[in-house]
Amino acid sequence: MKDVREILKKRPLLFDGGMGTYYKAAPGQECEQANLLDPEGIQAVHRAYLAAGADAVKTNTFGLPRMAAAQNPVWEALADEGWKLAVQAAAETGAAVFADIGPAPDTEAQPAAQLYIALADRFAALGAKNFLFETLSTDTGVTEAAQHIKKTVPDAFILVSFAVLPDGYTREGRHCAELVRRMTESGVVDAVGLNCVSAPGAMRALVQRLGGTKLPLSVMPNAGYPVVTRTRVQYQGRPEYFARELARIAAECSGVRILGGCCGTTPEHIVALRGALDALPDALPAAPAAEISTPAKPEVEKDDAFLRKLNAGKKVIAIELDSPKDADLTGYLDGARRLQAAGAELLTIADCPIARARMDSSLVACRVHRELGLNVLPHMTCRDRNLNATKALLLGLYAEGVREVLAITGDPIPTAERDEVKNVYQFNSRKLAQYIVSLAGEGREMPSPMTVFGALNLNARNFDVELRRAVEKMENGMSGFLTQPVLSAQAVENLKKARETLGEKAKLLAGIMPVVSQRNAIFMENEINGIHVEQAIIDRFAGLDRAQGEELGLEVSVQAALAAAPYADGFYLMTPFNRVALMERLIARLKEEVIAD
């Protein structure tokens, strides 16, 4: 078997193409299952790529991490057979064999690192020295797995490759430059690169933006973009074009030493690429990657009174006002104007709370900010948008001068029919936060970063788990949290614990929501997720009329604010039933009795 490091010293290493798209598995059958069901067919594919000129082949084991996560015991036999078939085929030419490991799901019960290590151990026991982690959208667990491999197989060669959209981000919102940097700095990865999703031209632009790296760069694009015809997915990129573009990448982009193909690339693509690479000069120029010339983007002037006051250590008041259920904003804007005059420094707008459609929170936020000059915090859920829609919305918000967002996972849509209205959960709030902050930076889409807040449920049954997630949210770029309503002594204790755990860096806005009647209190306690109303408070509202209920609601809210004040940077007021007049009174009392400007 050829030594990968020796090849890289002399010339670029050429991989095979896309096994999963070239081998035609039976309907309903995973390609990896063919290791046992059709070993001759899999070996024939390996031999076809080797005959085309490939220096290295990948084992047909890409999907095994998902099988291992599902605790399907067949993954071990598939790994063994996949390794054996690739090694037997490669023996005819002396080609290198890479143990191919696709993305692993990451859960608290079964972390991605645990799955990667299990597969790596299986391959190491079979004699593997080359490992490929490919088509990844995040580096979660990869460094830990690579460290383990190096201890088990000290001379192992580890290549990590990320699947990146043409704009530079993975499907989980991670930017390729950051992922490549992290792998380079890990000290346990031997090569890093990009594969899948993008076609050759788009991948060339991505590699140019990466610039040079200390590690060899790997480039394995798709043959083109997929075309769906009935039930088939086809890639129509021509081999000659594929080969020309990748040879150009090898010649022009410093550090690119590993090339190959992903989805849609056939032995014909590899034949053409082999010829194009062989025609390159023996010593490729070490010129730096081409610079992308972009006009300087002027910093947008902003007067963010809310953030300025918050960062100065003064207590702030944010207030939530639900957007209309219809298309008329007249009354809403009047209410926002009144709350602004009363002293609210930030207007927060929920994103279809309880999964019931209302006017879009981001569009409302833009209108309020434009007409009133009031700082706004639109809530953004992961429920209703994929990555593209989220990015488009964020860019529009930034252009409108909105600089703060609240990232939350969002309530699922209740429905009797599972396919009646589909939820979209491409990522969770932590990944969304990381994506939002990654949009800012040199060569990125935003001149300056947006400030991302998150939700903190003080009423969580297991608050230690909630706090652990809050720490993860901060690690992913969140600056602070808006909490669920403080309506119990336990909520105050949990807020105190949050302050001690998260430190002063985390900006905590304690949730205050006036209870206005006993019926309202009982409903919140029983039907609103994340809210807990002490029984003593519920009992106090018995027999009160509307005026009396509002008066007691104000009193309870002020007492809650006083109890929360030592641990909070401000207050997040929630308006019940759009009662703006009630909230005007609450703001006045908070400024008089709780907040000392």
Return the domain boundaries, the chain.
4-278, 315-593
**Unique residue bearing structure tokens 């639900």:** 322
pLDDT of 106 over the 70 cut? yes
Closest CA to 348 of 327, 370, 324, 374: 374
End-to-end CA distance of the chain: 74
Domains 4-278 and 315-593 share a fold: yes
CA angle 37, 38, 39 (to 5 degrees): 110
Q: What is the pLDDT of residues 213-263, one digit of tens each?
A: 889 999 999 998 877 666 667 787 899 999 999 999 999 988 999 999 999
CB 580 within 8 A of CB 518: no
37 falls in which pLDDT band (50, 70, 90)?
very high
Mean pLDDT of the region 373-377: 96
Query: How far is CA 442 from each of CA 4, 227, 449, 563, 570, rounded to the nearest angstrom?
Result: 35, 34, 11, 44, 33
> Is residue 498 scored above 70 in pLDDT?
yes
Q: What is the mean pLDDT of residues 179-202?
A: 95
> pLDDT of 136-167, one tens digit each?
999 999 999 999 999 999 999 999 999 999 99
pLDDT digits 0-9 by tens, 356-370: 789 999 999 999 999
CATH topology (fold) of 315-593: TIM Barrel (3.20.20)
pLDDT band for 28, please (50, 70, 90 cuts): low
Q: For position 227, what pLDDT does the model report? A: 77
Q: Identify the band that residue 2 occupies on the pLDDT scale cut at 50, 70 and 90.
A: confident
Note the pTM of the prediction, 2 decimals. Answer: 0.78
Pairing of strands 346-349, 316-320: parallel
The alpha carbon dihedral of 423, 425, 430, 431 has a sign of negative
Neighbours of 383 (CB within 10 A): 19
Nearest-angstrom CA–CA distance, 162 and 249: 17
What's the CATH number for 4-278? 3.20.20.330
Percent of the chain with pLDDT over 90: 78
Cα 126 to chain centroid, rounded: 35
How many angstroms separate the Cα of 277 from the Cα of each of 251, 260, 272, 283, 457?
9, 11, 9, 12, 57
Cα distances (angstroms) measured from residue 516 to each of 459, 537, 550, 554, 555: 20, 11, 5, 9, 11
What six digits make up the tokens of 504?
């002063």
- Contact yes or no for 270/261 (Cβ under 8 A): yes
Determine contact, residues 416/441, Cβ cutoff 8 Å: no
